[in-house]
Structure 1
């Protein structure tokens, strides 16, 4: 059954389109139930991050249009409205794509490590939803194995770079001395935690973390010597922040133009930097229309990220070689499955012959026949029956003069090239 990878990412579509197909975490169970109800889908894993939305599946048939149609229907998107922004890979190309994504070679930041954790989390969610069976389980386990080897054997992860790193780099360009800046982080997920880590390295003393629930925000407070607030407290606290970096899973904007206008008024129009690295976006795009408010989305970080790519290019070339070997190994495993049924039948037939002849021998011994004679007859008949079909095959192939088939058959039967027929 073919393996497919259907998706949209930062290379094929802007954030405005990507956010329309993003899956909120609390919608995934419904999505899996609906997706697996489709007659053409046997297994599936959905990966939805700020830079990509992809569906990996074990698919019945060769027409991926039904999968794309399901995706647009699920998100209530007009059919065909941006089909050109999607890519679809099958079998070897799909296998290679997942491996490259897992290794960070298809990321906005070349070689960034976060994507592997996101894929593992997506795989865990799919497994919990019982959307994964033998083929996808093996496929993703191979992806994790290849990614680990790339991290171990190459320098692809040297000088850690990520969207979080790019966000802090941008803040440093605008506020040369982050030690004097007050920062508001919105969200408490992995990306915000990484942002906090980089801010800590730059000795930022004043950090506030806003999250839907205080419990998770409080977990980060001790790490970054920060203050925790709820999302509902943002309007009252916004004017106190010079830099706002946001990354949540909210389906609606958290900060609007009006809220920022009020904050700027309270600040007497001291500049504010907004970095929105969420998809869907947390900050209304109209904020950029305000004087003294500088808004950057995840796509705007591309320029900063480009500067860091060159150092990883050579490592990426090495990684591609490891990925190619991983793809070949996985395809070899797939091919080996084809032999399983043949081996089962061959073993079953051999055991059936053995049991029939053994029963005859036991019966003959019970009738008082000579033991040595019975054993010799058993060995002779068993040998003849087991070599009958291979002997016929050798004769037929020899008569055709096909040396390649003859060599393969001899190797299969354990005959060396020097053995006489």
Structure 2
């Protein structure tokens, strides 16, 4: 079984490209319906976050060219444009890559915990669409086990600097006393929930949460004594807030340049701090060109995050060792499974030969053959049938100079041990 991972991430592609390759929840069913048919893969998984889009495929052949063509076509892109930003991992490298992703070693924020949950969601979604089989299921589940070991046995996850934390840290550069600022959070998922906690810790007391569903917005806003609104109400409240942080799964921008321009006129040059964590982006890029607006994307958070990377280098090395061990364990499991499959075929063939010789002996007995003669004929026939093919193949291999086949035969049947026993018996006699 060939394993392939093909994707882009924050290191290989800017947000302008990542947002074009992202899979929205609305198109996931369509993607799973097409992916295996278009690529010939028997199993598939899709991970799509603000920092990466990755496809995991298992099949009989390497299908990388077909996957690239499908990915480009699905998103109306030129395959040649994607080739420069795409990475491809195969077999053991693909196993290692998935484990590094799950452990947070390939994240912009080293050791960040959200990616493991996102990978688990990706696995659940693939299962929901009947896209996984034995191979990918084993890989995902083993990967989660290795990631758990990394979390519990290293310090990689202690006091992580998340994208949410980095966003709030950057807000401090604009507003020294954040207790006097009002925040608008767009979205109500896990990232925005983390943002709200960090803002509250930084002193922000006045919260607005805008979301597609009012109930979820109110629930999150209520944690900090704030107010929940629906997305369509954002223009009504925009002029009153100072901090805007957005992270939704919307395929189109939620906050446009026109709405921000109108709000700026009412604010009389009071600055806005905005962070767009979403991919595709929630805030039109043109907003960043307006005076008194400090707009950052997820790619702009690197400086804060790089300090986190330097502080975790020792833990990262320990994590890499655990992952190397995890990769080897998984490959050993696959080899064991291959052995089981081969042994099943071997046993089935032996039983078929046994049944054929047994039936021949029974016919001989029914026809009046002496039982001892029939039994000896059965034993001789079964021995000849079982040994004929291996003997032929060993002679052929030896003639071709593949002497290791004879060594395997001695090991399989412990022939050297038998020779030693016979030699010892002869000496006693």
User: 1:164 maps to which residue?
Assistant: 164
Q: Distance in 2 between matches of 1:140 and 1:127?
A: 11
Q: Within 5 Å, which residues of 2 pair with 1:114-125?
A: 114-125=114-125
Q: Is the 8 A contact 1:21 1:75 kept in 2?
A: yes
TM-score normalised according to structure 1 size: 0.88
User: 2:142 maps to which residue?
Assistant: 142
TM-score normalised according to structure 2 size: 0.87
User: 1:26 maps to which residue?
Assistant: 26
User: 1:307 maps to which residue?
Assistant: 307
Larger CA deviation: 68-77 vs 174-183: 174-183
**Secondary structure of 1:65's partner?**
helix
Q: Distance in 1 between matches of 2:398 and 2:250?
A: 72
Q: Is the 8 A contact 1:358 1:378 kept in 2?
A: no
> What is the deviation of 1:302?
0.6
Q: 1:368 to 1:65 in 2, by over 3 A?
A: closer
Deviations 1:373-417 (A, max 9, x none): 799969966995698469959996998998865554344335685
**Secondary structure of 1:81's partner?**
helix
Q: Is the 8 A contact 1:354 1:382 kept in 2?
A: no
Q: Within 5 Å, which residues of 2 pair with 1:373-412?
A: 388=387, 392=391, 408-412=408-412
Q: Distance in 1 between matches of 2:141 and 2:311?
A: 29
Q: Distance in 2 between matches of 1:51 and 1:97?
A: 15
Larger CA deviation: 25-34 vs 392-401: 392-401
Q: Distance in 1 between matches of 2:403 and 2:90?
A: 35
Structure 1: any 5+ residue segments left out of the alignment? none
Q: Within 5 Å, which residues of 2 pair with 1:29-108?
A: 29-38=29-38, 40-62=40-62, 64-108=64-108
Q: 2:129 matched to 1:129?
A: yes
- Taking only aligned residues, the RMSD between alpha carbons, in angstroms, comes to 3.1
> What is the deviation of 1:29?
0.4
Larger CA deviation: 141-150 vs 109-118: 141-150
Q: 1:389 to 1:165 in 2, by over 3 A?
A: farther
User: 1:264 maps to which residue?
Assistant: 264
Q: Is the 8 A contact 1:365 1:374 kept in 2?
A: no
Q: Is the 8 A contact 2:239 2:263 kept in 1?
A: yes
Q: Is the 8 A contact 2:358 2:378 kept in 1?
A: no
> What is the deviation of 1:62?
3.2
Q: Is the 8 A contact 1:397 1:406 kept in 2?
A: no
User: 1:183 maps to which residue?
Assistant: 183
Deviations 1:171-226 (A, max 9, x none): 22322333332111100111111112222333432111100111222332333332
User: 2:239 maps to which residue?
Assistant: 239
Larger CA deviation: 170-179 vs 255-264: 170-179
Q: Distance in 2 between matches of 1:65 and 1:188?
A: 38
Larger CA deviation: 381-390 vs 56-65: 381-390
Q: Distance in 1 between matches of 2:83 and 2:390?
A: 57
Q: Distance in 2 between matches of 1:288 and 1:394?
A: 72
Q: Distance in 2 between matches of 1:37 and 1:63?
A: 11
> What is the deviation of 1:17?
1.0
Q: Is the 8 A contact 1:3 1:91 kept in 2?
A: yes
> What is the deviation of 1:43?
1.7
**Secondary structure of 2:30's partner?**
helix
**Secondary structure of 1:196's partner?**
helix
Q: Distance in 2 between matches of 1:297 and 1:213?
A: 24
Q: Is the 8 A contact 2:248 2:278 kept in 1?
A: yes
**What is the total number of aligned residue pairs between the two structures?**
420
